[in-house]
A and B are shown apart, each in its own frame.
Chain A
Amino acid sequence: MPPVRVTALLVSHDGARWLPAVLAGLSGQQRRPDRVLAVDTGSSDGTVALLTEAQTREGWGADAVLELTGSFPEAVDQALARIDTEWVWILHDDANPDPRALAALLEAAEPADGSPGAAIAGPKLREWPSLRRLLELGVTISATGRRETGLERGEYDQGQHDDIREVLAVNTAGMLVRRDVLVELGGFDKHLPLYGNDIDFGWRAARAGHRTIVVPEALVFHAEAAHRGQRRTAETGRRTRTHRHEREAALHTLLANVSARRLPFQLLRLVVGSVLRMLGFLLARLPGHAGDELVALVNVLLRPGVLIRARRARARLGTADPERLKKLLAPWWLPYRHGLDVVTDFASAAASHGRESAERRRLARAGETGPVPDEAEDLAADTGLLVRLLTSPVALASLAVLLLSLWGAREALGPLTGGALSPSPESSGDWWRLVTEGWHELGQGTDAPAPGYLLPFATAATLLLGEPAVVVSLLFLVAVPFAGWGAWRFLRVAADLAVGRPASRTTLAWGALAYAAVPVASGAWGQGRFGVVASAALLPWLAHAASGLFERSVELRWRAAWRSSLLLSLITMFTPSAWLVTLIVVGVLLGIGFRLARDLVAQREVWLPLATVVAVPPLLLLPGAVGLLGHDVTAIFLEAGRLAPTPGAIDLVAGRLGSPAAPVWAGLALLAPAAAALARARTRVPVLACWLFVVTATVLAALLSHLDITLPAGDARPGLGFLLVIIQGALVTAVVIAAQGLWSGFAGKHFTWQQPVAAVLAAAAVLVPVGGLGWWLTSGDDDLHRPRASVVPAYMIQAAEADSANGVLILRGSSERGLAWEVHRGDGPTLGEDEILALTGPDQHLGDDVTALVTRPDPEVVAELAGHGIAYVILPRPADAQVAATLDAASGLTQASAGDRETRAWQIDEPVDPHAVTGDGSWWNPVLLVLQAIGFVVVGVLSGPSRRETA
């Protein structure tokens, strides 16, 4: 057999950085190529000079260096005309071959023993310059268009893949290909100038019946310069739109090569997949990639001619054996595994981002003091979860607190109502309607805005299989442990920030427990004030996020700002005064900052994140905020849920919202240590920062308590629940900070008056969580209960649900003590509707008609009621005899059956006006909703972990 001849075809473009090493590798080949042909595609650096120099040095021959214009496929095409050898060995300017590469490739492609060789052979690609990491051992493509190498990311080459095997394609870097095959297949696809042309070529070769193998013995080091965006070409453009070109290539390859039978399915899958990937990229804060994804899809689909021509050309090559092709293509499940990997990566990135600032500082300190011994880390990692749990007092204590708090909240295992908490609606759809519709058929119909918290509630209910009651129960079940957990995390950071060393676990545990007691000891839990409960559970998380605003890194500061603004928005939805408190505190902080450190605070990267925290919530709450403008603006001070009593001064400072709540003394016990915290000089500044919140909250409470909110339905007082929570949180934080290092400070000192005082203060502090949580766990005193049967008979509810014009007028009270009326529509006022009804106010005209109804019900009055959309009148038990007798005597009313004998009901004979409560919401409501949704996506993406952390 005559010796085969090989031409090494070196294609270069701005490769001066890698070229010297590549040329050295080329000249160091054991089996020297018979001919070298270097093609440069318009380099602007010293590439051509290097090539010319090598041409003379290595003696490549006269026309061995060509300067062409065009893409890689075109360059290969043009060079092919000048090649007369049987084999062509394609090299890139960033692909450095190992000395044995060509020899091994040739041996495998044309075996001396006559065993079947291959038309195309590729080397093992390893990363350059790391040299040990595997890049590719042949490639294939998944049905979603992903380039599959079958390797783990960053897998080290330990000889684990060193078998020659057939593959779909090999990379063009180091590809040894028979010249006649190149000619037969028409070279590389011109529509794939940069990426994916190798896979397409391999696929076409397979169709034409050729074999492609990978030869691990042949080794080429590849910088993958174009893929990593280190090289800019005319094709990639000024901005490195690598991702777009890769996607375009992948889509083109798939759509051009897949069998006609599978084409429609493939097309659908790619479109859906692209949209999903776009969402994924948005979540991973890669909006550029998301855009690329879309542009690539549109680019490919908008040029059907190109695809049709490409498919025709491939059809001429014949059809590959489907079984063989199936083996060469990536398995069908692979994309899903990748999806799972991405989710896992993302979650671990999010978790590792949660590596707190305190920990970062600890690591920084460790850098100064020396590393932690490896064995220690290994030990921690190797020990089983159970062992770690059982040997960690913190974990055991947390578990105990968790179980106790779940036991304490056991009443929430089921639908809840009572106090400020209205019964939950039937389905999440009811909440979504309130959120999205601009007109609510409640009362006499209203365009009052829905409360903000309905958005998270509706979302959560949808996720919980459309069960709103479960959302409420879950909130009441986990509020205490969640608040405690958040407090633990925040206090650790706060104490660390304040004193510059790891916080004592004892004080942290006290702080977490004392704070976890706030939602229950205050009575918010037992009084059904779900807004205060939710805010109390979320506040430490907001504080923790906001602690990132003091990071050194600008990026971390910004992320902290976005996260804080998102959490603040959430809290503001439940307790709107949270935003006001933050606004004041940020204003004061910036004011103090400008006075004390103007140069620092005046920097955009310092003040702007802070300002962002305050500016974002109104934007995220747009529909509610703008909707309120048409109503009473002071209503933003109302808490979520039904109106509830406001606390007096003593209750406020003791952290109590009135009865039922834990004993006041257990709350007042916190004041002494918190005031004493100010006395410790070492921690005075951070403790004062806590007191700034206390001062702000108390002053605000004093002002708000005198504010009279005049709603159309009646007067109300602003809710002080959030102020109470923030006072408690700030006091607890102050005590925890001041207590840091106190014990070690006393140790070994002489006995002075300070020790007994500290002991008394500590005892007082212990009373706070013990009294609060103890009361909750033992007393069982609360207003919560399971929803009771409505006073409205079931058949009326059915009629009312079928048509909201079938309202039910409910008259409570007696003639002697006064009658209170309200109109039920649907299944009666449920969670989320109270605020809307409060803003709406009863119809004055209807009120007059009701008065007339109970005094002298002539047929005109009854007809008027029907016109107001009232189909039934109910006197819940005990029905007032005089009113009942009056209504019985009225003509136009027919006695109707009620649930029990003491409840009286009448049906109005006149048909109701079907349009009594219908109406149109404002035109801008949908616009605001869209803006709100976009706002949430943007802020959500901005607060997520960045790509760098994912990698």
Chain B
Amino acid sequence: MSAPGKRAAVRTTQAPRITPMVAIAIAAPVVSLLALIIQAPADRQAPAGERAPGTRPLTAQALACPAGDGALVVGSGAQGGGDGSLRRRVAGTVAPPTPVDLPAGGQDTIPSAPGAVVFDATGTLAPSLYAARLGKGERPAAGECVPAVGERWFVGVGSGGDHTSTLQLVNPDTGPAVADVTLWSTDGALDRIESRGLTIPGGGTTTLDLEALAPHRNELAMRVSVSRGRVAATVQDTFAPGGGVPTSDGLPTTAPPATSVLVPGLLRTAQQQVLVLVNPGETEGRVALKVVGARSTFSPTGVPEIRVPAGRVVVTDLTKQLAAALASEDGSLSITSTVPVSADVRSVLAGDVVHHVGVGLAPGAAAAVVPPGGATTLVVDPGETAGTLRVTFLGPRGSELESRLLPGSARSFPVPAGTVAVLVTAKVEFAAALRTVGARGAALLPLRPLVDRQLVPAVAPAWPPQSGR
């Protein structure tokens, strides 16, 4: 190989001109360069990115209602015909299920159905099912029926002498379920309580008195997370304002911790309005409050910035401030925090306790049963976008109205007497609650989004394969 090289060398030194060798020497890098230019860009060969889930109509739905002796109201937000069935059974018993005759889009009131009732809907009745247990006493009261989900937050529960809460856990499936209960108090997370790994037998129910779990705590926040199976959790709260007569009402589940929480449908007048906040995180945060009024959102006077230490429950009395702010208009509390918090406003009206909970913003349809015992108002809080709102008052004399929802201002609508349930539909995000105020007290039920479709995860073989180690 060296011989021709020498020859080439001699030739170039004698006559510097473009020999074939020189031409090739120039061509080689040029060809390489061209090849590099047309080369395809780098390929990560990583697993395909996110695959959005699909949806399909919900074909089975179970709602668990709190135990009680009041009437049950169940409704269907679905439209159209088709096959579907609805049955009710009492969790923890072997009694056969009772069929419920409910047309799609209709409502039914079951006057007496004691125990932890579970509604099992299939087919066309499964989508958009909602239900609630109404109070039987003289004071307005109501407890929502809930589907089983992985995590529930309840803020403003208690286990003290004049404030006790009861947690009801229902397992709608046949296999056992396991739930963990975590409690926070004003002194921090209660980690010495035996609240992990509560097993609820298949089809059964477990009722947990918080007093037995962590006694002598008036202000608590609770998270119920399900580690095995499915569990529907509801809370019944009993409160004796000022050591008076204890009154009981359902404590609806509140929105999970977030930096922005909306508490719709505050009472305009109340003996007591207490904001209970929990910061389950590990860093301290600051919370600012605003009131979303009928015309604008404003900061109520005299409300300082609230400090929420890590892992603590903070209780702030807002009776005066809210009374001043809501004197002339219906409104909601908008909570902005530097760390995720969960909130509840506990009000006392005429000696009756009522809980206002954080409600998440969502578009679409939402419904709630109207709590009995007084005049009911629907309060709708807007999200960031303006849009049209359709309100349907369901009942024997059903009516409908349309309204415009503007950011920054809450809308309230009086609910006609005789209305059984209210359905709100919007293409934009909103949060809403039904507030009933009577002479003997008040009750509140937040509107819950109606689930009519089931998430179908996109399933694909793992590629490239993972080792698992």
Contact = CB atoms under 8 A, between A and B. Distances in A.
B110 interface: no
Given A705-B40, A818-B51, A889-B175, A642 B465 contact: yes
A794 interface: no
B94 interface: no
Contact of A838 (B1, B50, B59, B465): B465
Interface in A702-736: 702, 705-706, 713-714, 716-717
A742 to B, nearest CB: 14
B112 interface: no
Interface in B42-57: 42-48, 50-53, 56
A682 B173 CA distance: 85
A196 interface: no
B43 A820 contact: no
B296 interface: no
Interface string A787-827: 11111100000000000000000101111111111101000
Nearest to B459: A851
Contact of A686 (B1, B148, B455, B469): B1
B243 interface: no
Contact of A652 (B21, B39, B47, B226): B39
Contacts of A706: 40
Interface string B19-31: 0011011101101
B448 interface: no
A888 B46 CA distance: 31
A894 B202 CA distance: 12
A507 interface: no
B467 A889 contact: no
A386 to B, nearest CB: 38
Contact of B461 (A648, A702, A821): A821
A497 B1 contact: yes
Contact of A885 (B35, B40, B148, B459): B148
A789 B12 CA distance: 66
Contacts of A14: none
A897 to B, nearest CB: 10
B182 to A, nearest CB: 13
Interface string B451-469: 0001111111111111111
Given A788-B469, A888-B173, A854 B39 contact: no
A646 B24 contact: no
Interface stretch (B227-235, B318-326, B355-363, B382-390): B227-235
Contact of B28 (A678, A789, A854): A678
A842 B268 CA distance: 62
Contacts of B43: 645-646, 705, 717
A876 interface: yes
A688 B465 contact: no
B37 interface: yes
Nearest to A690: B28
A763 to B, nearest CB: 21
Interface stretch (B3-11, B248-256, B337-345): B3-11
Interface residues of B, number: 69
Contact of B459 (A683, A847, A882): A847
Contacts of B456: 851, 855
A685 interface: yes
A713 B465 CA distance: 9
A834 interface: yes
Interface centre among B42, B463, B469 (most CB of A within 10 A): B469
A895 interface: yes
A817 B51 contact: yes
Contact of B42 (A651, A692, A789): A651
A828 interface: yes
A817 B175 CA distance: 27
A643 B229 CA distance: 37
B32 interface: yes
A676 to B, nearest CB: 10
Interface in B408-441: none
A298 B172 CA distance: 82
A884 B45 CA distance: 29
B461 A822 contact: yes
Contact of B468 (A705, A876, A894): A876
B28 A682 contact: no
A885 B1 contact: no
A223 B323 CA distance: 129
Given A714-B461, A828-B468, A685 B41 contact: no
B97 interface: no
B38 interface: yes
B38 A702 contact: yes
Given A643-B45, A678-B29, A885-B150, A702 B36 contact: yes
A889 B468 contact: no
Size range of the chain A interface in the assembly:
35 or more
A588 to B, nearest CB: 12
Contact of A678 (B25, B149, B174, B177): B25
B21 A684 contact: yes
B5 A842 contact: no
Contact of B59 (A500, A856, A888): A856
B175 A647 contact: no
Contacts of B52: 816, 818
A764 interface: no
A789 B469 contact: yes
A824 B468 contact: yes
Residue picked from B28, B43, B47, most chain A C-beta under 10 Å: B43
Nearest to B50: A817
Given A881-B150, A888-B175, A701 B39 contact: yes
Interface centre among A681, A705, A856, by most B CB within 10 Å? A681
Contacts of B105: none
Contacts of B459: 818-821, 847, 850-851, 854
Contacts of B59: 856
A787 to B, nearest CB: 5
A608 interface: no
Contacts of A789: 469
B393 to A, nearest CB: 33
Contacts of A893: 175
A56 interface: no
Contacts of A856: 59
Given A682-B6, A855-B56, A812 B45 contact: no
Contacts of A705: 39-40, 43
Interface in A880-928: 880-885, 888-889, 891, 893-895, 901, 904
Chain B CB count within 10 A is highest, among A658, A691, A698, for: A698
A882 B150 CA distance: 7
Contacts of A171: none
Contact of A894 (B41, B175, B467): B175
B35 A812 contact: no
Contact of B465 (A645, A834, A880): A834
Nearest to A699: B35
A885 B463 contact: no
B25 A901 contact: no
A689 B32 contact: no
Contacts of B24: 688
Given A789-B469, A821-B461, 13 more contacts: A500-B2, A649-B39, A652-B39, A684-B5, A685-B1, A691-B29, A699-B35, A702-B39, A821-B460, A822-B466, A885-B150, A885-B226, A888-B175
19 contacts: A646-B43, A646-B45, A649-B41, A686-B2, A688-B28, A698-B36, A702-B36, A713-B461, A716-B464, A789-B469, A792-B468, A816-B457, A818-B50, A819-B458, A819-B459, A821-B461, A828-B467, A882-B457, A895-B175
Nearest 6 pairs of A and B residues by beta carbon: A818-B51, A714-B463, A881-B150, A705-B40, A648-B42, A842-B461
Interface of A: 417, 422-423, 497-500, 550, 642-653, 658, 675, 678-679, 681-689, 691-692, 694-695, 698-699, 701-702, 705-706, 713-714, 716-717, 787-792, 810, 812-822, 824, 828-830, 834, 837-838, 841-842, 847, 850-851, 854-856, 876, 880-885, 888-889, 891, 893-895, 901, 904
